[in-house]
Amino acid sequence: MRQPENDAPTRGIAVLGSTGSIGTQALDVIRGQRDALHVEVLSAHNNADLLVKQALEFKPNVVVIGNDDKWKQVNDALFDLGIKVYSGGEALEQVVETDGIDMVLTAMVGAAGLKPTMRAIQAGKHIALANKETLVVAGELVMAAARQRGVDIHPVDSEHSAIYQCLAGEFHNPIEKVILTASGGPFRGRDLASLEGVTKADALKHPNWDMGAKITIDSASLMNKGLEVIEAKWLFDVDPDQIDVVVHPQSIVHSCVQFTDGSIKAQLGLPDMKLPIQYALTYPRRLANEFPRFSFMDYPELTFEQPDDKTFRNLALAFEALRTGGNAPAVLNAANEVAVARFLRDELTFLDLPRVVEHALERVTPLSKPSLDDLVASDAEARRVATEWRS
């Protein structure tokens, strides 16, 4: 095994969702940190061409393509290199258990990331968590499993990474509150009437971040921040009343922690996902890189304001689901995934997004202490209800 300069062993990484926005940026990070990180597994759901290109460069031991119909294409392209190629969800769940993997980066979109993450935790693999839906759907079960197996979960979301960094050296000190910052998205300051006719093209124009379509729409509706609120509850063991959301249009202050003495720590940086990705993959080390640097002189004004959760009701619905507990966050997440997909297919308006979510929360059978199977069933029921919803 190659040794980096400080004699720490090279860390083997499984990148689940390697062809998406987070996955491709993670590979950029690994490309620049070859002495510290190497790729053991790459996976993608459908983008076989890019997956093959990545595998030819990084030469992992295993590649998984979710779409069974594309297995032959990927296998034929990689066969001569001796790279093992599998397909399907069950294969992905098995692969994360293999030797050689030290950390699993879960960068899959949506609730599909839950099962492979749980299998990786049960196999004792540390997690770099970019799939916030995993904790939204099953936070209590996931964190309990991680504690039982002694697994570290390193958040990749810039907001949760910021809080994680602020807590370094402070884990013995009680948190008074965590403060999640939000850009406000492309519709910040707009009222309901002005949102009647917005298109998916409008909603996909995020002012600061370059993300995938689903996360970008969630940011526009503030659902992304709502999901992050739920994720923060489980990551940092705080109550809903200890979580604040503040709109910060410049996206420089990524989040803050307020301690019981009243002091606040904040983590700042340019809106670039590669920094929190690197921090998660290489923690506790901070490795030198060539990422662009933040300068206060370039940002003479940093501003903050209250979020408008009456216009952007998804944020209020997420807090409501968190306070309700049980399967409510899973229902919220599943209904939102369907609603966003329908919006991107021009089947719903932008203002329909919270209507679908609220409808599902009212219709799906509430469960106060769901098992993992219960959560999977609630997810399916919420998807059915959201698919059938008509304005």
Q: Residue 120's domain is classified under what CATH number? A: 3.40.50.720
What is the CATH classification number for the domain harbouring 387? 1.10.1740.10
In a domain, 238, yes or no: yes
In a domain, 278, yes or no: no
What sign for the dihedral angle of Cα 208, 14, 114, 75? positive
Domain boundary among 121, 155, 189: 155
More confident residue, 158 or 208: 158
The boundaries of the domain holding residue 331 are 325-391
Verify that 304 and 341 share a domain, yes or no: no
Global confidence as pTM: 0.92
In a domain, 1, yes or no: no
In a domain, 204, yes or no: yes
Q: How many CB atoms lie within 10 A of CB 201?
A: 7
Q: Mean pLDDT in the chain? A: 94
Q: Would you place residue 209 in the very low, low, confident or very high pLDDT band (cuts 50, 70, 90)?
A: low
In a domain, 319, yes or no: no
Verify that 28 and 150 share a domain, yes or no: yes
d(CA 169, CA 349): 46
In a domain, 3, yes or no: no
Whether pLDDT at 3 is above 60: no
CB 119 within 8 A of CB 149: no
Whether pLDDT at 234 is above 90: yes
With a CB cutoff of 8 Å and minimum separation 6, the contacts of 348 are 339, 342, 356, 391
Q: Is 246 strand, coil or helix? A: strand
pLDDT given for residue 210 in this prediction: 64
Verify that 255 and 119 share a domain, yes or no: no
Domain count, the chain: 3
Verify that 229 and 251 share a domain, yes or no: yes
The mean pLDDT of 158-165, rounded to a whole number, is 97
Instruction: Kindly list the distances between the CA atom of residue 270 and the CA atoms of 24, 128, 214, 256, 295, in Å, as whole numbers in the listed order.
Output: 19, 21, 22, 15, 9
Say how far residue 307 (Cα) sits from the centre of its chain. Answer: 21
What sign for the dihedral angle of Cα 225, 282, 125, 86? positive
Verify that 146 and 186 share a domain, yes or no: no
The mean pLDDT of 194-204, rounded to a whole number, is 91
The mean pLDDT of 118-147, rounded to a whole number, is 95
Q: Would you place residue 7 in the very low, low, confident or very high pLDDT band (cuts 50, 70, 90)?
A: low
pLDDT given for residue 211 in this prediction: 67
d(CA 370, CA 132): 19
Verify that 214 and 123 share a domain, yes or no: no
Edge-to-edge strand list for the sheet holding 37-44? 84-87, 62-65, 37-44, 11-16, 103-106, 126-129, 153-155
Domain boundary among 96, 120, 155: 155
Distance between start and end Cα atoms, the chain:
58
Which neighbouring-strand residues pair with 37?
11
Verify that 168 and 267 share a domain, yes or no: yes
Q: Would you place residue 2 in the very low, low, confident or very high pLDDT band (cuts 50, 70, 90)?
A: very low
The mean pLDDT of 265-287, rounded to a whole number, is 97
Verify that 196 and 303 share a domain, yes or no: yes
pLDDT given for residue 5 in this prediction: 46
pLDDT given for residue 208 in this prediction: 67
Q: Would you place residue 183 in the very low, low, confident or very high pLDDT band (cuts 50, 70, 90)?
A: very high
Verify that 211 and 124 share a domain, yes or no: no
Verify that 291 and 190 share a domain, yes or no: yes
**pLDDT more than 90, % of the chain:** 90
Verify that 143 and 53 share a domain, yes or no: yes
Q: Would you place residue 124 in the very low, low, confident or very high pLDDT band (cuts 50, 70, 90)?
A: very high
Domain boundary among 155, 184, 212: 155
In a domain, 188, yes or no: yes
pLDDT given for residue 1 in this prediction: 36
Verify that 91 and 219 share a domain, yes or no: no
Query: What would the pLDDT profile of 36-77 be if each residue is shown by its tens digit?
Result: 999 999 999 999 999 999 999 999 999 999 999 999 999 999
